[in-house]
A and B are shown apart, each in its own frame.
Chain A
Amino acid sequence: MSNENPQIKKKREQTMVDERRKFILGTARAVGIVALGGLVWSAYVDEVTANKLILRPPGALKEDDFLATCIKCGMCVEACPFDTLKLANPGDNKPLGTPYFEPRDIPCYMCPDIPCVPVCPTGALDEALVTTDGKLDINLADMGVAVVDTKNCIAFWGIQCDACYRACPLMDQAIYLKYEKNERTGKHAFLKPIVDSDFCTGCGLCERACVTKKATITIVPREIVIGSLDDHYIKGWDKKDEKRLKNAKADITTTELSKESAMDSLNDMGGLLDD
């Protein structure tokens, strides 16, 4: 090796450097392309799955779990006898290929045998969520909840309209009419439709039936509109609700002002009464 031609030696070392550079560059390129592709891909998927304003078939898992579990086969769509369900196409601006419905076009007619749910191969539509005592029960469906636009609903104006109330398959439970005196005329009554979210399944028959140009009663996914009380407020008059007290935790915050008992400061007049 020692008596190697210096020119050949130089060339050999040069090739080695080139090989090393090629390897490092190649690795860097692969890592870079994977990172680039991964970021673009995940950004896209994150965007298209961010649409929370989408109404799912009955028995659907929570949206996050639903997106992980739905295989986009469309068997629920095929099972639906009313063509209510559709698969999101490109251009619908909905998570691609997943089933949804638009109640103003075709609402869910709440079939008692719920044909769309048992056909689901992956359990994204879960029979257990719409079953009581081993029997399918469509009234347990939770596709969304109806919300009334009380400014534009003509029943709230005093005009007699009970289209949504009569369309509701759970009439007097999911939607009931609240009678109120119309002070404007002095002799008429308001028949105001009120939604009880405990019963509303979000089938959308009311939205379909609404007589205004754009429906003033709309189905919205439950998690969008239903608030949460945590354990800060409990109905003292409701035995069932009082049970939530068990989970309640007291948070005591001490500040500069509240570190001493209120009783102490109440009796301390700060020298006001001194002569």
Chain B
Amino acid sequence: MTNFWEHYRFLVLRRFTQISLMLLYIGGNYWGWNFVQGNLSASMLFGVVPLNDPYAALQMFAAGAVITTNLFVGALIVTIFYMLLGGRTFCSWVCPVNIITDAANYLRRKLHVNQVEKKQPASRNIRYWVLGLSLVLSYILGVTAFEFISPISITHRAIIFGVGLGWTAMLVIFLFDLFILKNGWCGHICPLGGFYGVIGKVGAVRVDHDEEKCTVCMKCKIVCPEPQVLFMVGKESLQVLDGECTNCGRCIEVCDDDALNFSIRKLAKEKRDENN
């Protein structure tokens, strides 16, 4: 049992936060719970604190909408929260689409799809192009361009307000990630992930790699949804400072050598310097 906890503790905690957040939202809609109302695009915490998706707010700004104080404050709170936390913590701890793409990725490993499709034909920078394009299109069309196609919004609206044909969007993402592109949606295309990757560059909670303990088994790179951020594994003792790291902690769990751990930015380095 302790072994299970060792190997899945962050995964369990992440599923717990993802599912309980969705439950709180569902309760907010159907049973009038006052904890959070709305959805991940905009919500009200305890009926007083506004929380708004800063990327949606940015699109609204580009579309020429009047930005209300509520919207601005809510977007600022969320931005500062994830900025301090660091990385794409939203993606792996809050976003419900993460459950779908993780499932696709798990199946991909189990079915050995990765061995058949070795080549990854797409760049992980597509998301930044999509991010830029969404703002340009919002400006040109005068509507929030990504919000009208976002499978993330479709998914959490489907969970909170009733599914309709929303399941088709979830299935599309699942099949895309399973058969077309490894980490296709979250790791290549999603502009919301790209957005959080940009603001998460300076955050505090970061994975730290200790090269001296590493046995170069590469389990971490196999399980990591953004393996490029682990470039230092087995080479150098460094913190994972790339904003694209989702802080999911899977690398920490699969490491049998205790060579990866969560740390606070910089503090880990100082500690190492003291030891040396």
Give me the interface of A with B, judged by CB distance under 8 Å: 30, 33-34, 37-38, 41-42, 44-46, 48-49, 64-65, 67-69, 71-75, 77-78, 86-87, 89-92, 95-97, 119, 121-123
Contact = CB atoms under 8 A, between A and B. Distances in A.
Contact of B157 (A69, A95, A97, A121): A97
Nearest to A90: B165
A68 B144 contact: yes
A90 B164 contact: yes
A96 B154 contact: yes
Given A42-B137, A87-B157, A121 B50 contact: yes
Nearest to A87: B161
Contacts of A73: 38-39, 41-43
Interface residues of B, number: 52
* Residue among B56, B71, B158 having the largest count of chain A Cβ atoms under 10 Å: B71
A57 to B, nearest CB: 15
Given A44-B149, A64-B142, A74 B39 contact: yes
Contacts of A65: 65
Contact of A97 (B63, B64, B66, B147): B147
B149 to A, nearest CB: 7
Contacts of A41: 133, 137, 145, 149
A42 B141 contact: yes
A38 B136 contact: yes
B130 interface: yes
A78 B28 contact: yes
Contact of A34 (B52, B133, B144, B166): B133
B130 A95 contact: no
A198 B225 CA distance: 59
B145 A45 contact: yes
B242 interface: no
A68 B68 contact: no
Interface centre among A73, A77, A92, A97 (most CB of B within 10 A): A73
Contacts of A34: 129, 133
Interface of B: 28-29, 32, 37-39, 41-44, 50, 52-53, 56-57, 60, 63-68, 70-71, 74, 129-130, 133, 136-137, 140-145, 147-149, 153-154, 157-158, 160-166, 168-169
Contacts of B161: 74, 77, 86-87, 89
B37 A75 contact: yes
Which of B29, B41, B56, B64: most chain A CB closer than 10 A? Answer: B41
Given A75-B38, A122-B65, 7 more contacts: A71-B147, A74-B161, A75-B43, A89-B163, A96-B147, A97-B157, A122-B42
Contacts of B57: 71
A74 B156 CA distance: 11
Contacts of A74: 29, 38-39, 157, 160-161
Contacts of A87: 157, 161
B38 to A, nearest CB: 4
Contacts of B154: 90, 96-97
A46 B158 CA distance: 23
Nearest to B125: A30
Nearest to A78: B29
A74 B166 CA distance: 15
Nearest to B147: A72
Given A41-B145, A74-B161, A122 B39 contact: no
28 contacts: A41-B145, A42-B137, A45-B148, A67-B144, A68-B60, A69-B60, A69-B65, A69-B66, A71-B42, A71-B52, A71-B71, A74-B157, A75-B38, A86-B161, A87-B161, A89-B157, A89-B165, A91-B165, A95-B148, A96-B147, A96-B154, A97-B148, A97-B153, A119-B44, A121-B74, A122-B42, A122-B65, A122-B68
